[in-house]
Amino acid sequence: MTVVALAVVLTVSGCAASDAPGDVTPTGAAPAPAAPAAPSTTTAPALPPATATHPAEPGPEPTATCGTVLTPEEYSSLARDSLVLKDDPQPFDDVMTRMLAEGALGCQWAGQGDVMVWFAQQDMDNAEWTTRRAELAAVGYSESNDPFPGTLLGPDDADANFIPSVHYADGVLYYVSYSPFLNSVLALK
């Protein structure tokens, strides 16, 4: 009977009772902070001691960017020629367009005139490269081996100054707007 009377008194006075003994909180007020819990008497299982026999795993390779893929000398050359990296590269042709659609890194440097340089690189396994190589041959790419063995030169049906080339090495397909630019790719050094 005492509990019922206390509930009636609390309701009439605008307070709410809680489950904790002696805890009365005015209705609409924030509850009082709970008392810290008592330390647990159970113990967690002990972890095995750390050992130095397993070296730390290496972190992921740094992601290639348009600011890191070329040699320092090439970046200096682009700057001397007043060619700057475009924020939104426009693919040179269908080959580069496809690479970008598949997630490749794409770069374009341009100046005030019509001189531009295009570059793309795409991770690709050997089986994918074999298929892509056949597709490139079907659209007119031919093996030129310049500047590296296995370099494919695009058809010269566009502009003689811009004959795209591709080179596959170590699981990466590289695309450039003219074959000598492959010599500027840091990973191919």
Query: How long, in residues, is the chain?
Result: 189
Whether the model clears a pTM of 0.85, i.e. scores above it, the answer is: no
| pLDDT tens digits along 74-91 | 999 999 999 999 999 999
Work out the burial of residue 89: count CB atoms within 10 Å of its CB; fewer than 13 is exposed, 13-18 middle, 19 or more buried. buried
Q: Is 18 helix (H, G, I), strand (E, B) or coil?
A: coil
Q: Are 175 and 164 in contact (CB under 8 A)?
A: yes
Mean pLDDT of the residues in the chain: 76
Q: What DSSP designation does 160 have?
A: T
Span 72-188 CATH architecture: 3-Layer(aba) Sandwich (3.40)
Q: How far apart are CA 150 and CA 127, in angstroms?
A: 16
Measured between alpha carbons, how far is 58 from 102 in angstroms, rounded to an integer? Answer: 27
Res 157: pLDDT? 72
Give the Cα separation of 161 and 163 in Å (integer): 6
Residue 31 confidence (pLDDT) above 90: no
Question: According to CATH, where is 3.40.1000 located in the chain?
Answer: 72-188
Q: pLDDT by residue (tens digit) across 125-159?
A: 999 999 999 999 999 999 999 999 999 999 877 56
Q: If pLDDT is split at 50, 70 and 90, which confidence band does 61 have?
A: low
Q: Are 175 and 166 in contact (CB under 8 A)?
A: yes
Which amino acid, 7?
A
Quick one: pLDDT at residue 62?
A: 55
Is the pLDDT confidence value at 170 over 90? Answer: yes
Strands 165-169 and 105-110: unpaired
